[in-house]
Structure 1
Amino acid sequence: MTIAGALRTHLTRLACALAMLAAAGAASAQPVTVTDVLGRTVSLPGPAKRIVLAQGRQLNALGLLHPEPLSLLAGWGADHQRQNPDAYARYRSRFPGIDAIPTVGDGATEAGFSLEKTVALAPDLVILSGSLAGTRHGSGDLVLRLEAVGIKVAVVDFYLKPLTDTVPSLRILGKLIGREQQAEDFIRFYEDRLGRIARRLEGARRPSVFIHAHAGGPECCSTPGRGTFDDFITAAGGSNMSAPLLPGATGQISLEQLISSDPEVYVATGGTHMARLGGLVLGLGVPRETAAAGFAKLLAQPGISTLSAVRNRRATAMWQLFNDTPLHVVAIEALAKWIHPERFADLDPAATLAEAARFSAIPLDGTLWLDAPASGQAPARP
């Protein structure tokens, strides 16, 4: 081949390569339209590249769909570091720039959200949780305030109605960030696990279950009402003892109420946020010995130790932060084993967690639940 011919061949290949890159770029910039969990239509000119997470905890879901979720963030709520320090530490280890991401509020309330800071970050999308977005359509509504200054808003939720909103929320996020296939892969895994549980529960009796949230702190007893862990209990074949007692998603009952109700299954929840209160510590990176020692201390407390569930070795524990992540499928499996051991002897939540870790941007190691103490391992008295 002559030099001129070789040059023409090279230029032709280069032109083809550039055309392919241009086509790929055009494809990635195709308009995106979704319907969020409030039924609102949200349209973007292309997948979002500068996202503000009004609640930082939504990173729990984003990190299941994108291998580098922090690369998409223009800003976020400060709640992730405060409420989920174990996961935050893992993100910081893998993505050292995490501390430089600007915060736009406390991530807890609409009043704590800064519209001014958000506007200054020029995001192409703000993602709100259902609890922040609300359902109001008045002048105080956060959705309307953002839209009034020209900012696109999408509402997703994994907390208030997890069994209703998790799958739609994953699809919404997947489409908005251009990771639809990853979202569908996780949804298939998620629905397969829940379907397996539902099929085995046909005709089953529903034992009473008490969730002792943030257990071991100075007050007893915080517990879920409707939604959140109540949905998990229902999916696992139980009946939430507290649901008829509380008007909202969470609330407080007295220790006396717990003792008199005497649920068949007792489930304590905890996290690394409970360490400073002397409460139950579970979570990412928490050694099993640490979690087990705290659990034994809790079960030996006056009142708690008198429960039938404790005496019958039907007292267990799990990570509180299962309550706002699609990883709650693991929690539901654990609950199903605890509530109906005769139906789910072969169910392996640890294997399900290992499978979920394939999707996760961070390691999912640590102690996220504890089964009831074995016979002969009664908790030591304080």
Structure 2
Amino acid sequence: MSFPDDRRTVPLTQSGGRPAARLAGALTALLLMLAAPFIAPANAASIQVTDVLGRTVTLPGPAQRVVLAQARHFQVLSLLTPDPAAILAGWSDEFKTSFAPDYQAALQRFPSLSTVPVVGRHAADSFSVESALGLRPDLVVMTASFAGLKAGQAADESPLIRRFESAQVPVIVIDFFIHPLDNTIPSLRALGKAIGHETQAEDFIRFYKQHMQAIAQRLADLPEGRHPPVFVHAHAGSTDCCNSPGVGTFNEMVRYAGGRNIGADVLRSATGKLNFEYINASAPQVYVATGTGSRAAKGLAIGAGVDENEARASLQRLIDSNRLGALPAVRSGNSHGVWHAFNDSPLHVVFIEALARWIHPDRFQDIQPADTLRDINARFLAVPLQGTYLVNLRPQP
């Protein structure tokens, strides 16, 4: 870094200089040192990233101060870098509130997370652009829906994205929720490249593709009509019976695993509500309750630090309290509980393996989703998922 000729400093090692000059030199050096983490090196090559909207986003170098518009995506960062807390400049509060057990687990691994500034809640209307800009981010990560974009809209139609871009702060758009099967790999690739961990991203992508392709191959000859009805009871117990995925989200996962999501037959949005009569008339062969563990007293006890027996007992309690005991899936024992955050994360590969085993046990008896999760913990996650993330109503070998 160069200075104008009239801004000379005295080297700190030089003796005999004037005290004022030595002080000025010391202050200059200190300011440069403090500013260093926020300034890309002069010789750093710029990075071009293609996000899920097809936008080419240019960064001057690997992002070192990232704002997550939705804090749930911290666990995606955890897949891609061994120290996700080090690059986190700001986030929403939803990881602390909606995913409290897993936040506590992350906090034990990275205590600095307790001091990460909060720039909004889980909804876009609470997000403060001013607060985010005040953190001097070099990257903001958000989804299209968070940005206020509907299908087919361009990024420049989002006031949120425009405000960051006018401040010369790059924004990349990712998606693991609306179209998870199409957008997971591009999202991982974009985020990994943006933070300078492209190799780690490609390693996980290879792992992901290997497991997803194995599922597809086993179902390639599945006859028409062999897609049993599946009821995914979203946020079970936290709301009146019964929330369900519609199109996108869990629906794509159920279909990929060879099932038919009964919610998609009547819901045209990403999520919605099914009435008791419709659920019973649909006679689901597989029942799946979801939860985050944050409301274990009423909902499903699942996630970090949860014992399998505790999770199973909460699943039975939910079935009983929602009068679902007459469902074919419950009578046969083909009922299960899962961690809800599988639906907005590349970790859905674990859930899809589990779904395939539950829906088509004859084809997937040898597949062990728990082993897949153990591999991910060992090979990728900076904050391993330790607890119960999948549970069966009846214990299985």
TM-score range, shorter chain: 0.7 to 0.9
CA distance, structure 2, for counterparts of residue 211 and residue 71 of structure 1: 36
**1:117 matches 2:131:** yes
CA distance, structure 2, for counterparts of residue 68 and residue 154 of structure 1: 20
CA distance, structure 1, for counterparts of residue 247 and residue 295 of structure 2: 23
2:32 — aligned with what? Answer: none
CA distance, structure 2, for counterparts of residue 55 and residue 29 of structure 1: 29
2:329 — aligned with what? Answer: 309
Aligned residues of 2:356 and 2:364 also touching (Cα < 8 A):
yes
Encode CA deviations 1:200-254: one digit per residue, 9 max, x unaligned.
Answer: 0012221111101111235100000011111110111111111021111001111
CA distance, structure 2, for counterparts of residue 290 and residue 371 of structure 1: 12
Encode CA deviations 1:96-131: one digit per residue, 9 max, x unaligned.
Answer: 11111111111322x111011011111111111222
Percent of counterpart pairs with the same letter?
Answer: 46
1:87 — aligned with what? Answer: 102
CA distance, structure 1, for counterparts of residue 43 and residue 72 of structure 2: 27
AA of the residue aligned to 1:220 = C
Encode CA deviations 1:345-375: one digit per residue, 9 max, x unaligned.
Answer: 1001111001111200112111111124159
Q: Note the C-alpha offset of 1:185.
A: 0.4
1:256 — aligned with what? Answer: 277
Structure 1 segments of 4+ aligned residues over 3 angstroms from their partners: 25-28, 135-140
AA of the residue aligned to 1:241 = I
Alignment partner of 2:375 out of 355, 370, 381: 355
**Alpha carbons of structure 1 residues 192 and 275: separation in structure 2 relative to 1, 3 Å:** same
**Alpha carbons of structure 1 residues 161 and 28: separation in structure 2 relative to 1, 3 Å:** farther
CA distance, structure 1, for counterparts of residue 364 and residue 163 of structure 2: 48
Aligned residues of 1:28 and 1:46 also touching (Cα < 8 A):
no
Encode CA deviations 1:152-179: one digit per residue, 9 max, x unaligned.
Answer: 1111111111111110000001100110
CA distance, structure 1, for counterparts of residue 260 and residue 283 of structure 2: 13
Q: Note the C-alpha offset of 1:149.
A: 2.3
1:192 — aligned with what? Answer: 210
CA distance, structure 2, for counterparts of residue 178 and residue 230 of structure 1: 33
**1:331 matches 2:345:** no
**1:367 matches 2:385:** no
User: Secondary structure of 1:39's match?
Assistant: coil
**Alpha carbons of structure 1 residues 162 and 27: separation in structure 2 relative to 1, 3 Å:** farther
CA distance, structure 1, for counterparts of residue 304 and residue 41 of structure 2: 40
Encode CA deviations 1:12-43: one digit per residue, 9 max, x unaligned.
Answer: xxxxxxxxxxxxx9798211001111111100
CA distance, structure 1, for counterparts of residue 305 and residue 273 of structure 2: 29
For structure 2, the residue ranges without an aligned partner over 5 or more in a row are 1-39
CA distance, structure 2, for counterparts of residue 217 and residue 127 of structure 1: 28
Encode CA deviations 1:56-89: one digit per residue, 9 max, x unaligned.
Answer: 1111111100010011011111111111112211
AA of the residue aligned to 2:337 = A
**1:172 matches 2:186:** no
AA of the residue aligned to 1:80 = F
1:147 — aligned with what? Answer: 165
Alignment coverage as a number of residue pairs? 349
1:1-382 counterparts in 2 under 5 A? Answer: 29-109=44-124, 111-133=125-147, 134-135=149-150, 136=153, 141-204=159-222, 205-276=226-297, 278-301=298-321, 303-357=323-377, 358-373=379-394
AA of the residue aligned to 2:190 = I
CA distance, structure 2, for counterparts of residue 130 and residue 67 of structure 1: 27
Aligned residues of 1:259 and 1:303 also touching (Cα < 8 A):
no
TM-score, normalised via structure 2 length: 0.84
User: Secondary structure of 1:189's match?
Assistant: helix
Encode CA deviations 1:324-355: one digit per residue, 9 max, x unaligned.
Answer: 11111000000000000000010011110011
CA distance, structure 2, for counterparts of residue 68 and residue 302 of structure 1: 42
CA distance, structure 1, for counterparts of residue 239 and residue 261 of structure 2: 23
User: Secondary structure of 1:342's match?
Assistant: helix
Encode CA deviations 1:230-279: one digit per residue, 9 max, x unaligned.
Answer: 11101111111110211110011111211121111111112212224x12
TM-score, normalised via structure 1 length: 0.88
Encode CA deviations 1:304-333: one digit per residue, 9 max, x unaligned.
Answer: 001111111211221111111111100000
Aligned residues of 2:312 and 2:393 also touching (Cα < 8 A):
no
User: Secondary structure of 1:343's match?
Assistant: helix
1:13 — aligned with what? Answer: none
Aligned residues of 2:47 and 2:59 also touching (Cα < 8 A):
yes
Aligned residues of 2:316 and 2:393 also touching (Cα < 8 A):
no
Aligned residues of 2:241 and 2:322 also touching (Cα < 8 A):
no
